[in-house]
Amino acid sequence: MLGFSSCSSDPLPEAEPVKAKAVVAKPVWFNVPKRFSTPNRLGDIETHPFFDLNAYRIKDTTEVSYYLVTPKDSEHQYKLDMVSGQRYLRHTFCKHDDVWEEYEGSINKPNFAQGIIPRLMDQSGQPQQIWVFGDKTQFFTSKKELKVQSQRAIVIGGVVLQYCDNYPCKSNSEWLSRLVLIGINPFDKLYEGVKSLKDLKEKVDWEYTLAFAENGFGRNISGPLSEPAYRIGGEIDKKDVLDFAFENGHLFSFDEINSLRKNCFSLYDYIWKGQKLARLESQKRRKATDEYAKKYEKRAKIIRDLKSFQTRTVIDDNTRYQLDEDDKNLQNLEFEEFWLKLINKYSGRMKTCFDFVRPANSKLDRERTWFFAYVQNWINLEELGYFYSCSRRSWLENPMIAKGKRKYPKHETSGCSARDLDLGFEQAVTIMSSLSSALRSHYRFIEYDGRPGGSHELLFTWVPDNGKRLACDARALEEKESLFPEDISWKTFNSRKRNSRYDIIR
């Protein structure tokens, strides 16, 4: 008989504690045709933290994965650009006082980490935010070759972060609300036993947390005046706050992600092909030296009405088929005809695509990149409440009037020449620059985030900026930002040439 008594007296080796590993995403979102994907410095496909990572939610423990955007105690505030999948510098933190005049100390760096839940949009249509407490040494460390990886958190509650674009927002309905999840780092022993916001407040300086939330993302600044832009509208000390976030937000499914991307690619290709044919038509007209030649040129109206996307979303499957059918009829059209039909039928879908999907590879095709940069700027300016009038050849403010309607229609439907539209595209950059100078909501174009503290990554896209700034020295650095490259001009469709957008009277 075999005996095991000699082994029984030996003590078993003590098991080593096992620490969970970060989930490293595989590059799927940008694994697409080269004309839509810009490789990184090493020539590899980039990974998108929102679309390529997953939430990996555990209901019983309220655990969830998130992507770290701004670390705890960071000197800089970052945001995630949804188009490029890159972080970019929002502002540099500095000491300042509470705009609400309630917190007595100075406010500087965040005492929590800030992240987003992959694939989950909140009720405001933005990536679901999460603020996580824990010692910063207990977070997974990013390595250059593994920069897109998930973190883990246990959700214990939430806060309602409210935003006022133009203070004072007199009624509660004027304060825009979004849910922010509050979590703890499950690997930090200091937070063992923390099950609720009440428990958390015994571990952290919660008053500072609230003060930072109401000041650290900026404020309304007008000359010497500083007025609030953010406030905490309430606290949610319940575990089911995670259920609420998933049930009332939108969690992208894999099929939706694929369909969104493919339909946007089809739309981009359709627009690019249409403008190329229109440019060929424009070149033909440039050969006519007789200024009255247009009288006997008959417009070749052979393009049929663009079929709209399905009313629900650009994700619908038959979009690509419709665009393929329209593709067959693109020939001999003029730009003004193509653009007016496009903008009136597709502007909402174009906005959705520009918010998520890259239209061009900046390293492969610069002409396509800058064309879409101007097109996106036009769409962005309309979303900010502006209307381009061809008859006046200028952009006009388009304010809201009764019942949520605007003073002017969103787009012109007729009566535009190629020259009118050329002026509109060129002026749009100037208008956007004036909004930036006035610290109003605007967009700015980032090629490379190379500022001190920046991510040092290529973006090549427009990013939103609400115009809110910190009331301290860091503001001076932000005012030096370039809104759009000065050496880039709109390539006109009209036969009359101009040197650059700076020829326009401002």
For 135-179, write each residue's pLDDT tens digit: 877 777 665 555 689 999 999 999 999 999 999 998 888 999 999
Weakest mean pLDDT among 233-242, 262-271, 367-376, 466-475: 466-475
pLDDT attached to residue 471 = 85
21 in a domain, yes or no? Answer: no
Q: Which residues contact 155 (CB under 8 A, 6 or more apart)?
A: 62, 63, 64, 130, 181, 182, 183, 239, 241, 242
Among 211, 230, 250, the domain boundary falls at: 250
- Give me 378's structure tokens: 């036009």
Reading the block at residue 501, the tokens are 């957008």
Does 25 reside within a domain? no
Mark whether 264 and 238 lie in a shared domain: no
Q: Cα–Cα–Cα angle for 329, 367, 277, nearest 5°?
A: 20
- Report if residue 11 sits inside a domain: no
DSSP state letters, 365-382: -HHHHHHHHHHHHHHHHH
Q: Tell me whether residue 29 is in a domain.
A: no
Phi and psi angles of residue 6, each rounded to the nearest 5 degrees, phi first: -70, -25
pTM of the model: 0.86
116: in domain: yes
For residues 264 and 214, membership in a common domain is answered with no
| Domain final position from 218, 250, 282 | 250
Q: Report the SS3 class of residue 125.
A: coil
Is residue 310 domain-shared with residue 371, that is, in the same domain? yes
Q: Please indicate, yes or no, whether residues 193 and 269 belong to a single structural domain of this protein.
A: no
Residue 121 has pLDDT above 80, yes or no: yes
Instruction: Indicate the pairing of strand 151-163 with strand 63-70.
Output: antiparallel
Query: Mean pLDDT across the chain, nearest whole number?
Result: 85
77-86, 289-298, 448-457: least confident range: 289-298
Examine the domain organization and report whether 161 and 280 are in the same domain: no
Write down which residue in 207, 231, 250 finishes a domain: 250
The CATH number given to whatever domain includes residue 126 is 3.90.80.10
Q: Say if 9 falls within a structural domain.
A: no
Question: Is 136 among the domain residues?
Answer: yes
Do 429 and 479 have their domain in common?
Answer: yes
Query: At 503, is the pLDDT very low, low, confident or very high (cuts 50, 70, 90)?
Result: very low
Domains held by the chain: number: 2
CA atoms within 13 A on the CB side of 36: 23
Q: Residue 175: which domain range?
A: 34-250
Cβ distance 133 to 191 under 8 Å?
Answer: yes
What pLDDT digit, counting tens, does each position of 420-479 carry?
999 999 999 999 999 999 999 999 999 999 999 999 999 999 999 999 999 885 455 555
Mean pLDDT, residues 55-76 taken together:
95
Q: At what angle do helices 254-286 and 335-356 cross, to 10 degrees?
A: 150
Q: Write the CB contacts of 111 (distance below 8 Å, at least 6 apart in sequence).
A: 72, 73, 133, 204, 205, 208, 209, 212
| Higher pLDDT pick, 104 / 412 | 104
pLDDT band at 321 (very low <50, low <70, confident <90, very high): low
With 60 as the cut, is the pLDDT of residue 292 above it?
Answer: no
Residue 219 in contact with residue 96, Cβ under 8 Å?
A: no
Residue 118: which residues within 8 A CB-CB, separation 6 or more? 49, 50, 51, 52, 53, 54, 55, 65, 66, 67, 150
Specify whether 225 is located in the same domain as 299.
no
